[in-house]
Amino acid sequence: MTRYVNDSDLLQFVQDVFSSFGISRENALICADNLVLADLRGVSSHGVARLRRYVDGMTNGTILPHSEPWVVREAPSTATVDGRAGLGQITGHFSTGMAIEKAKKTGVGIVAVRNSNHYGIAGYYTQMMLEAGLLGISMTNTAPLVVPTFGRKMIIGTNPISLTAPTKRNRPFFLDMATSVVPRGKLEVYDRMDRDMPAGWAVDSRGLTTTDATEVLKNMVARLGGGILPLGGEGELYGGHKGYGIALLVDILCGVLSGGAYADMVDVKGPGGKGQPARVAHFFMALNIENFVELDVFQEKMDDLIDRLKESEKAEGQERIYIHGEKEYELYEKHKSSGVPLEEPVFDSLKAIALERGVPFEL
């Protein structure tokens, strides 16, 4: 069963949950907005279904809800920020703000972040840069969920990348993708629905393709081997080694450049398997387009690029060529009108969280 919930009501509820930990209403809204925006855009794997993850983290101390980001070093165009084990959304919002400010002053703003936590959808931060009239890039490493090409042990993350670029006539270009075949959240969706996932998404403990999402998730939690495949899939035939390389690019810019954690150093368990801060690392880059070319020229060329792609010949049986972000923009408009779709297990999880936190549940 799917329930359709008003996005404003959902935003209020999630904000109340974060506020119940003593977080300021402003910061709680940032966290809530990040999760609800994911659902509005159809990225349910990173939406309110993940609220439990943050609630448990703040409860058990692996996420420090009152910790504020700290600037470790700074130059006119760059900075390194320590998230101090706080909420990734708060650290991400703060660091993106720094990148935007620096880009407006110097033409480019780059902020590398260490010691943070999961920051939600990467596109949340590039959307901020887009709204500031800039070209934006956002990346993050994640807990090791992906096996390297020819491997069978999770050692790198799904390591998403987002890039936004402004246009005039068309919708803005909005890339937001994992560097794995799929993010972990996609496997969780199939697990909740008790359905086989497509072959080629993940491998079992032997490093062989499987369609059993539940088995893969259990193996991932217990570190028994197997995991998600890099973008391109198994081996080299379809370019899996290239997805593997892009994931390492993210780890270098996020973890190595910031002096933080990378690969299987992220989200390591403490003594006795006890949870501890995940030490996730991020990377944000904002570019002032006017430092390269007139904004009007850039936007006109972006529109022309998009037009050329969309008006090119379609494959037999296909009616449309999509540009990155189009489907999400259309789902956003649909969900603003019809409500955010929540699967019954997600709805029940929110209801349970409301009882735990003493928050009104009026969805």
pLDDT in tens, 247-293: 999 999 999 999 999 999 999 887 777 889 999 999 999 999 999 99
pLDDT at position 221 is 86
Q: Which of 38-52, 183-197, 243-257 has the lowest mean pLDDT?
A: 183-197
pLDDT digits (tens, 9 = 90+) for 315-331: 999 999 999 999 999 99
Residue-wise pLDDT for 13-25, tens only, equals: 999 999 999 999 9
Percent of the chain with pLDDT over 70: 100
What's phi and psi for 273, nearest 5 deg? Answer: 80, 10
The answer, yes or no, to whether residue 144 has pLDDT greater than 90, is yes
Residue 239's pLDDT is what? Answer: 95
- H helix or E strand, kind and range, residue 73: strand 70-74
Instruction: Return the SS3 of 179.
Output: coil
Q: Counting Cβ atoms within 10 Å, is residue 199 exposed (0-12), middle (13-18) or buried (19+)?
A: exposed
Mean pLDDT of the chain: 96
pLDDT band at 223 (very low <50, low <70, confident <90, very high): confident
pLDDT recorded at residue 207:
93
Q: What is the pLDDT of residues 84-122, one digit of tens each?
A: 999 999 999 999 999 999 999 999 999 999 999 999 999
Q: Is the pLDDT of residue 352 over 90?
A: yes
pLDDT at 300: 98
What's the CA gap between 101 and 30, in Å, rounded?
A: 19
Arithmetic mean of pLDDT, 240-251: 97
**Higher-scoring residue by pLDDT: 178, 275:** 178
Going by DSSP bridges, is the β-strand pair 108-116/227-228 parallel, antiparallel, or unpaired? unpaired
Given this model, what pLDDT does residue 185 score? 76
Domains of the chain (ranges; CATH) run 1-60+326-363 (1.10.1530.10), 67-181+229-295 (3.30.1370.60)
Residues 6+ apart with CB under 8 A from 287: 103, 107, 108, 134, 135, 136, 137
